[in-house]
Structure 1
């Protein structure tokens, strides 16, 4: 039977809760540590209520497909933010309204756990479309693509790479028909390390993280890394391919850093990083501490 080997899960829910719209969400424990030590709340939360229903299909233990219908009212969740939380106050503002539409995602996972060759490869696709014609307040589409790889040679040398691109398109070009908190932001742990928290924001985003590390008995790892990224406005008249590939390299922000990490990808571990912006002269070193280790 096809569905015995490839399970299909159907679901539906009604909810009234606090959600986070950040494209890259950290685990709550990591986010709590960042707030405790750095006073940086990486989860821009908002109040959401509504309902959704959909299905998840797993194929051959490697491919996960998900589709859902969303009817969601959103409003600002008032939280005190320290002055150093965000360079731009608009980044912590939620535009109230209703999002009604569809979300589709696909995740392909190949290889092993990354602690030996050939390594672990994961590809992700997320597409969202919302429209006033379905009863919502906004008309926009979002697409996010990413790929990440982890490979280890001899249990001692490890390479990690992640590349992500994303675009948000309004229904009418030149007229903003999307809420600000659905735009993409870069800066800080989990994104572009070495620059101020969420200091880059735009409708398009490019991010690349590369790490090379040396390990000792899978218990202690030392990494050097390079991050490159940018956030920009949409290209006027550009195709979807243009929005996802045509990035002005003169606007790229590049950072370098060092990290120390415990354990292997199979185990619970901690990670400490320091990084600095190479695009700005005399930029300070910024430190990060977290319990998860995927960039």
Structure 2
């Protein structure tokens, strides 16, 4: 099976700073991918702040009228958004801190109904960030979502790094981690996630991998090398990088396929030349081909 991930990069350090801190003045934009949506979604207020606008779309893609929507708060401050009589395909919530988009994934994984938790898609750590959706085959009590905790093991230090549960729908948890080291993925491609739901603790061993992309510093009209680092995959695994030049940029070549061993040798994947000074954003998709 092929895996497809898109990334919009403002150089490694800049992306990490913008994505991890609203305090820098950048509003948050977060996406959560669920296997399915019902007519009720719980939202973590840390990712939206006070809600100013909500747009819901039904399974046909039509905008649901505001009068069909109801917003409540749980006893611990989370937002409960309800669309009685409607099945959602997409939900966009905008508040003072940022926007949150919740949507249905096009890639669905089937699992045994008795599985405690399983990921919707293969976990991939990109520039220290991990978006993970876990689905449970057992009933989850979501009356007090702020009591839930999630963390991932750093195999190097032996300690756990906490993440956030961003949204909940039925038995699905949308989770986000920021600032992760590469060592949350073992050399064999393993990841340990610990999930605490009220009084119950689940330890999940998942298959995972990840990558970082680096752009060397350069001046206007001078080429800069684009390199990558991949972890958690065998050296013979082949990855395809597809770059899309943005305004003022020229990237050569725009499509590159290489093994993990070749990528991690430090060999440049491509070069970018720009006519616009300052930090260079990159639009790139990464696809596992073997």
Q: TM-score, normalised by structure 1?
A: 0.28
**RCO higher in 1 or 2 (8 Å CA, sep ≥ 6)?**
2
